[in-house]
Amino acid sequence: MKFLLFITLLFALSIINLFGQMTKICDIQVNESLFAKLDKYSMQFYEKGNKFIKESQGVFFEQLIEKSIIKIDSINPNSLIFIAYSTDSTKITFSYSDVSHKISKIPVILAGKEKITLPDTVKLFDVGSKMNKDELAQVDEVFTYIQKYKIVFQFTLNKAQITEIKKNILQNFFIIFPQDNSTNRWIGNIYKIEVYKI
């Protein structure tokens, strides 16, 4: 028992030391204007039993780094730590290893708006150079969502659990860890992400 207490104390001290050595790089305000800068995909979420849960617009979190929304310049991405904050006062901490597609088979997903529905056929006739910048942006917006990802959670859920996840996690802007065996690290209603360097 004393050994277990010693290990727990040692672990707690190392975590305190780690946070003492972190340097804040930036805050990311999670909102519509952030999402507008990203290439969004249609994310279809299913539980392990292949039961459909929800479809949302989303991005792989790593895109925040690739799109230079996080200004890391000469910082090694492997030294990054992220803390996401929810409007209900919860927060989660995760590292670059959770985010990188080179390390994680299904990296962290930041999702937001509900899906958009496209007609079966989209026809464009003789548009050439007649379209102005705003019209081209609208066409680009439509074709962004052609790519779809089917994300299957690593656990099964009953109807009540699906309802709870939809209500408490898959709301507004949310982060999920598709490889996790539970929703313990998942967080909904995100408004801010702090980025630190170790």
Q: Which residue has the higher pLDDT, 46 or 18?
A: 46
Neighbour order of strands in the sheet with 80-86: 23-29, 190-197, 80-86, 91-95
pLDDT-based confidence at 16, cuts 50/70/90?
Answer: very low
Residues contacting residue 169 through CB under 8 Å, at least 6 positions apart: 176, 183, 186, 187, 188
Q: What is the pLDDT of residue 114?
A: 67
Let me know if residue 46 belongs to a domain: yes
Find, among 171, 193, 174, the residue nearest to 185 by Cα.
Answer: 174
Q: Which residue has the higher pLDDT, 142 or 173?
A: 173
Find, among 158, 177, 154, the residue nearest to 104 by Cα.
Answer: 177
Let me know if residue 171 belongs to a domain: yes
Over residues 19-33, the pLDDT tens digits come to: 568 899 889 899 988
Q: What is the pLDDT of residue 177?
A: 92
Over residues 130-168, the pLDDT tens digits come to: 667 777 666 666 655 567 888 888 888 888 888 888 888
Between CA 175 and CA 163 the distance in angstroms is 17
Q: Is the pTM of this model over 0.75?
A: no
Let me know if residue 17 belongs to a domain: no
Asked whether 15 and 198 are in contact (CB, 8 A), the reply is no
Let me know if residue 1 belongs to a domain: no
Over residues 83-124, the pLDDT tens digits come to: 999 999 999 999 988 888 888 888 898 998 765 555 555 555
Q: What is the pLDDT of residue 41?
A: 86
The CB density around residue 60, as the number of other CB atoms within 10 Å, is 21
Q: What is the pLDDT of residue 154?
A: 87
Q: Residue 30 carries which DSSP code?
A: -
Let me know if residue 13 belongs to a domain: no
Boundaries of domain holding 128: 22-197
Let me know if residue 7 belongs to a domain: no
Say how many domains are in the chain.
1
Residues contacting residue 44 through CB under 8 Å, at least 6 positions apart: 52, 54, 55, 148, 149, 150, 151
Let me know if residue 26 belongs to a domain: yes
Let me know if residue 9 belongs to a domain: no
